[in-house]
Amino acid sequence: MTENQSAQPPSGPAAIAGQTVFITGASAGIGAACAHAFARAGARLLLAARRQDKLRDLAAALQKEGSPAVHTITLDVRDAAQVSATLGALPEAWRAIDVLINNAGLSRGLDKLQEGKPEDWDEMIDTNVKGLLYVTRAVVPGMIERGRGHIVNLGSTAGHMTYPKGAVYCATKAAEKSISEGLRQDVLGTPVRVTSIDPGMVQTDFSKVRFRGDEERAAKVYQGVTPLQPEDIADAILWAVTRPAHVNISEMLITSIDQANSLLFNR
């Protein structure tokens, strides 16, 4: 081994053991799957969502799966004051965040723009765009100060190609793409890495939330296709954050075998 190689921090799944990983929207779907994957890899987990009961149940399971420590916080990412107060008041042991997974997000409604509901637009923009910004703003300065850190933002195929009746959700994910690109440029020269993970259709509560609890309509979204599972995305995120420190995975566009892009499915 050369001197240079021995100076490299460890990479591969073992590299995440003992590191502090902060996941927003950890109470369900992709966020919860990430929590399980990182627990098995030995990471310390800081978990945020609005539904604290879900996080409490999850925390108990994660410690059994191998996480050395789990801390849960109630957080509505849309509330700028709450984000800054809660993250500013983290217990000492949870302040040094190594990895932030900006996963909290949602869609509301599937309507033509000219028939859409402004309250749905507000909720999507406030959560997927402004929430991501508030959390990032609170966490990145500490990463720069400590000289280490990785931001993983959840984008979507929707941010690459807009689909009918989804203009505003797609716009929030196009914004995520721009914000990830911008942040990557703004932290250039520091060791902080920025990755956008852009999944196609993943089978989670996403459609149930979009259709406000209409399970039948939500189930139809996944009928006749093999969708991605949240574990597939967690696996990709774990891989992206465990590359050697000089490797930045900028963007991963991931679909199931039955999806070509935002519009084309094999049903």
What is the separation of C-alpha 100 from the centre of its chain, rounded to a whole number of angstroms?
8
Strand order in the sheet with 44-49: 70-74, 44-49, 20-24, 99-102, 150-154, 193-199, 251-254
Looking at the Cβ atoms of 37 and 201, the one nearer to ligand NAP is: 201
State the Cα angle at 48 between 165 and 190, rounded to 5°.
90
Among 111, 100, 121, 135, residue whose Cα is nearest residue 237: 100
Site for ligand NAP in 57-76 (CB under 6 A): 75-76
Site for ligand NAP in 28-47 (CB under 6 A): 28-31
Token readout for 52 is 């604290």
Instruction: Specify the amino acid at residue 41.
Output: A
Looking at the Cβ atoms of 15 and 39, the one nearer to ligand NAP is: 39
Site for ligand NAP in 166-205 (CB under 6 A): 199, 201-202, 204-205
Looking at the Cβ atoms of 15 and 106, the one nearer to ligand NAP is: 106
- Spell out, one character per residue from 123 to 162, where the chain touches ligand NAP: x when CB under 6 A holds, - when not: ----x---x----------------------x-x------
Candidate segments 11-19, 50-58, 85-93, 241-249, binder of ligand NAP by CB under 6 A: 50-58
Catalytic site residue 222? Answer: no
Cβ contacts of residue 143 below 8 Å, gap of 6+?
A: 97, 98, 100, 149, 151, 190, 192
Among 201, 151, 155, 157, residue whose Cα is nearest residue 178: 155
Number of residues that bind ligand NAP (CB under 6 A): 32
By annotation, the residues acting in catalysis are 169
Contacting positions for ligand NAP (CB under 6 A): 24-31, 49-51, 54, 75-78, 103-106, 127, 131, 154, 156, 199, 201-202, 204-206, 209, 230
